[in-house]
């Protein structure tokens, strides 16, 4: 296993061990949270009784493979905790998510959870937010949304699949627009301005959840919890 995967595994396994019997658990999307699912799977085999609420088709498929009992936000409008990854995390625990184009459902699940556990390797920590901000938009509004992003000082690019044969389509049937802003001086304001563009479902900035967030940083031999 690569060093990066060892660190992700240590973070994921630590987060899984925070899960207690009877909990309803949000299951995020991405390679780090999949390690948490792997650990949850062995805990379930040992008798742990939980229900997972997946944040994407990919997470749902992986959770099923691991034998994690699943429900939806309709079944469980409030969750005990959610475990998810991140693409960039600042010292105030504000973050950018959405490399997996799943930030809309991830944000719904995070919002519904009493506690948000973010699993990561050290490379995601940054003293400022300057990564690309993914924004999910309905196809009808894509061009006007991109114009508005330019007026906000951003550079929007429609995300394409690996074969470059068309836009990535999210689980909800929309486009994912990757928006570069350089250093984001006021992440709260940018999040709210992006979310207010007509046709936008949600952006990958998560600035409102710091007070219920714990970040588990996997290292080679241990973890650091922030």
Annotated binding site: 29-32, 84-87, 97-100, 124
Cβ atoms of residues 81 and 18 within 8 Å: yes
CA max distance for the chain: 54
Q: Residue 52 or residue 85: which is nearer to ligand 5RP going by CB?
A: 85
Pairwise CA distance, residues 218 & 13, whole Å: 9
Member of 13, 16, 29, 174 binding ligand 5RP (CB under 6 A): 29
The residues in 106-125 that bind ligand 5RP, with binding defined as CB under 6 A, are 106
> Of 17, 65, 106, 224, which residue is the catalytic one?
106
Q: For the window 66-95, what string marks contact with ligand 5RP as x by the rule CB under 6 A?
A: ------------------xxxx--------
Do residues 83 and 33 touch, judged by C-beta distance below 8 A?
yes
Shortest distance (Å) from residue 49 CB to ligand 5RP: 26
208 binds ligand 5RP (CB under 6 A): no
Bind-site residues for substrate: 29-32, 84-87, 97-100, 124
Site for ligand 5RP in 146-165 (CB under 6 A): none
Of 102, 113, 177, 184, the one binding ligand 5RP (CB under 6 A) is 102
Nearest-approach distance from CB 83 to ligand 5RP, in angstroms: 10
Query: Least Å distance between CB 216 and ligand 5RP?
Result: 12
As measured in angstroms, the least distance from the Cβ of 103 to ligand 5RP is 5
DSSP sequence for the chain = --HHHHHHHHHHHHHHTT--TT-EEEE--SHHHHHHHHHHHHHHHTT---EEEESSHHHHHHHHHTT--B--TTT-SSEEEEEE--SEE-TTS-EE--TTS-HHHHHHHHHHEEEEEEEE-GGGB-SS--S-EEEEE-GGGHHHHHHHHHHTT-EEEE-B-TT-SSB-B-TTS-EEEEEE-SS-S-HHHHHHHHHTSTTEEEESEE-S-GGGEEEEEE-SS-EEE-
**Is 188 assigned a catalytic role?**
no
Residue 218 contacts ligand 5RP per CB under 6 A: no
Q: Does 30 bind ligand 5RP (CB under 6 A)?
A: yes
Output the smallest distance, CB 166 to ligand 5RP, in A. 19
Provide the binding-site residues for ligand 5RP, judged by CB under 6 A: 28-32, 84-87, 97-103, 106
Residues carrying an active site annotation: 106
């Amino acid at each position: 296993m690569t060093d990066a995967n060892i660190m992700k595994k240590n973070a994921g396994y630590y987060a899984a061990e925070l899960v207690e019997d009877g909990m309803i658990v949000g299951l995020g999307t991405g390679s780090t949270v999949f390690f948490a699912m792997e650990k949850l799977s062995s805990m379930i085999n040992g008798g742990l009784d939980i229900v997972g609420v997946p944040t994407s088709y990919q997470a749902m498929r992986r959770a099923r493979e691991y034998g994690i009992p699943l429900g939806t936000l309709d079944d469980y409008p409030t969750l005990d905790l959610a475990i998810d990854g991140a693409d960039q995390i600042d010292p105030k625990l504000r973050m950018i998510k959405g490399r997996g184009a799943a930030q809309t459902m991830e944000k719904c699940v995070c919002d519904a959870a009493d506690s948000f556990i973010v699993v990561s390797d050290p490379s995601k920590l940054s003293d400022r937010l300057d990564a690309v901000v993914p924004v999910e938009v309905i196809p009808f509004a894509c061009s006007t949304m991109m114009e508005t992003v330019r007026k906000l000082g951003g550079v929007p690019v429609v995300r394409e699949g690996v074969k470059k044969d068309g836009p990535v389509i999210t689980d909800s049937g929309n486009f994912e627009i990757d928006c570069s802003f350089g250093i984001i001086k006021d992440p709260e304001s940018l999040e709210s301005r992006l979310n207010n563009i007509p046709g936008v479902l949600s952006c990958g900035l998560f600035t409102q959840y710091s007070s219920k967030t714990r970040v588990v940083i996997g290292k080679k031999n241990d973890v650091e919890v922030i």
